Amino acid sequence: MDADVFNMQIRKFLKQVGVTSQREIESTVRAAIEDGRLKGDETVTARMTLTIETLGLSKDIEGKITLS
């Protein structure tokens, strides 16, 4: 295994996850505010699951996002 290549591939994947996740969260929160499900001053709990089926990895990552 080439550690440098492996590290770069992980970083590339995590960048894709981060950008995609941020877009999805932002658009979903905006829609929830527009349709009245949220007021815009809440704190919401987010959970993501990292899965690598080949390796038997499944890890939940949870955190809170404060809207104001």
Per-residue pLDDT tens digits for 4-57: 999 999 999 999 999 999 999 999 999 999 999 999 999 999 999 999 999 999
**Whole-number Å distance between alpha carbons of 18 and 8:** 15
pLDDT attached to residue 57 = 98
The DSSP output letter for 15 is H
pTM (2 decimals)?
Answer: 0.89
Separation of alpha carbons 22 and 60, rounded Å: 17
pLDDT band at 66 (very low <50, low <70, confident <90, very high): very high
Q: CA–CA separation, 5 vs 22, rounded Å?
A: 26
Contact 67/38 with Cβ under 8 angstroms? yes
